[in-house]
Amino acid sequence: MVNNAKMLIIAVIISTVIVAGCAGPSEEVQSENANPGNIKIGLVAPLSGGASDVGGDMKQAAILAVEEINAAGGVYVDEYQKKLPLELVEGDTKTSPAEGVTAVERLITRENVAVLVGGFSSGVTYADEVPAAGKVAYVITGASSSSVTRRTDIDTSCFYHYCSTTDDYSQPIIQFFVEELKPLVAPERDLKLALLYRDDPFGQGCYQSCVDYIEAEDLPVEIVAAEKFPAGESDFHTYLTKIADAKPDAVYSIDFVEGTSSMYIQGQRDVGLNTVYMAVECNEDPAFYELLGEWGDGHLLETKFAPYASDYLPMVGEYKEAYIARWGEMPGMMGADTYDGIYLVANAIERAGNLDRLRINDAIKQTDEEERLLLMDGGKITFDEHNEISPKIFVEQMSWDEESGELTPHIVWPEYVKEMDFVLPDNYEMGG
């Protein structure tokens, strides 16, 4: 029996090492093409694994953008004196850091892509950007931790954050709570906030930016519980029970679609934590509304892309129609970022005038163009000293329609885009 147990443990270790070791680095090849028939763009996305629903949206949006650009003749490249079509080459990260590294290495060395677009999950992107460091421009459209562009251990001059960072959305969320929720539930005292976050760079970034912002601005918000959980967790009962014990006025949930929907449901249905829940923008996805159903009624979602409320920006409505016509379903937010990202690199290649990776990188750095699917400060897409954009963030409140059996979001904050006023969920019980 002892031998069996030992053998079992040794076998687990050996097999793990063998499986992990299967992915080796690819051989280095020339990064330029003498006379290309097309321009290869590498799409880095979780096309399988735990975040494949988001990866599917990124892929569909990227294909849509490439098809539109190619239908218009492609991208003009001055060196060849002609328009070249774009070719999208997929790199599946399989929602795993190790697989992400392999995928990016393949895109750079074997597929010889001119530029990379995509990257979802800060933990995965933190690993998969290593082979691209200093070699090829990578327009990151899905990993929100600011550490992916501000890290100091590798050359980040080729990385561009074309999505909100964790700072971008934790700050407006806190602002929303102070401006809209506090007057309703805690006018005479500090607002009591609980955070439930993934134990990875994304979750830690969200948590830390909340803490820093509250402290820096001396805001009347007290963090009464901050629980972190391992990525991939699906059973949140004990975390939520502990949070309920702290009697918060609101819960800020930081995870992807599967986990966040579980938190909302398990919190209300099983634990009886009837507060108001706030999710982060990567949950702006049709699957989120479908999984939540009636349990989403009255609860919140931070976002920068709202396809259900597309009137705030004409291009959003056009994109939504085109996406539905092409794919037969509603678009999600990560796809919108990626769609914009493809246009951004196409324009940069045209400005660069050739397919030299460093010239394309310089052209991306100097981007100064009109906003497309994301509202930007000043209405323009530009990158700051950290290679980050400045998107405008808003908060949506979901409402459940018993007759149609659908959950739909409406913008409730800030004032200049809001469709309706924020109201407390029907089942809200005072915290404190």
Partner 1 sequence: MADITTLLQVLIWGLTAGCIYILMAVGLNMIFGVMKVVNFAHGEVMMIGAFASYWLWSLTNHNPYIVMFLSMLLVGGFGIIIERFGFRKVMGTGKLNEIFLSLGLIYILQSAAVKLWTDDVRKIESPYGSMTLDMGMLNITYDRLIAIAFTALILISLHLFLTKTDLGRALRATSQNHEAAMLMGVDVNRIYMLSFGIGAALAASAGTVNAILSPFTPYMGTIPGIMAFVVIIIGGLGSIPGAIVGGLLLGLVQNFTIFYFGGAWKEAVAFIMLIIVLIFKPTGLFGEGRH
Q: Which is nearer to partner 1, 43 or 263 (CB)?
A: 263
Q: Where are the beta strands (DSSP E) in 64-103?
A: 75-77, 82-84, 86-92
Taking residues 92 to 131 in sequence order and writing x for each that binds partner 1 by CB under 8 A, - otherwise, the string is ----------------------------------------
Residue 329 lies near partner 1 (rule: CB under 8 A)? no
**Prior bond to 220 cis, omega within 30?**
no
Neighbours of 199 (CB within 10 A): 15
Which residues 187-216 are close enough to bind partner 1 by CB under 8 A? 199
Q: Which is nearer to partner 1, 227 or 388 (CB)?
A: 227
Torsion of CA 347, 352, 358, 363, to 10 degrees: -50
Q: Which of 26, 31, 38, 48 binds partner 1 (CB under 8 A)?
A: 48
Rg (CA), the chain: 22
Distance CA 242, CA 244 (A): 5
Total residues contacting partner 1 by CB under 8 A comes to: 45
DSSP codes joined into one string, 278-333? EE-GGG-SHHHHHHHGGGGTT-EEEES--GGGGGGSHHHHHHHHHHHHHHSS---H
Draw the binding track, 241-280, toward partner 1 (x: CB under 8 A; -: no contact).
Answer: xx-xx-----------xx--xx---x--xxxx--------
Which residues lie closer than 8 Å to 241 by C-beta, 6 or more apart? 271
19 sits near partner 1 (criterion: CB under 8 A): yes
Q: By the 8 A CB rule, do 38 and 77 touch?
A: no
Q: Which is nearer to partner 1, 209 or 266 (CB)?
A: 266
Cβ atoms of 158 and 361 within 8 Å: the answer is yes
Task: Note whether 239 binds partner 1 by CB under 8 A.
Answer: yes
Closest approach of Cβ 17 to partner 1, in Å?
12
Binding positions for partner 1, rule: CB under 8 A: 1-2, 4-5, 7-9, 11-12, 14-15, 19, 48-50, 52-53, 56, 199, 227-230, 232-235, 237-239, 241-242, 244-245, 257-258, 261-262, 266, 269-272, 287, 291
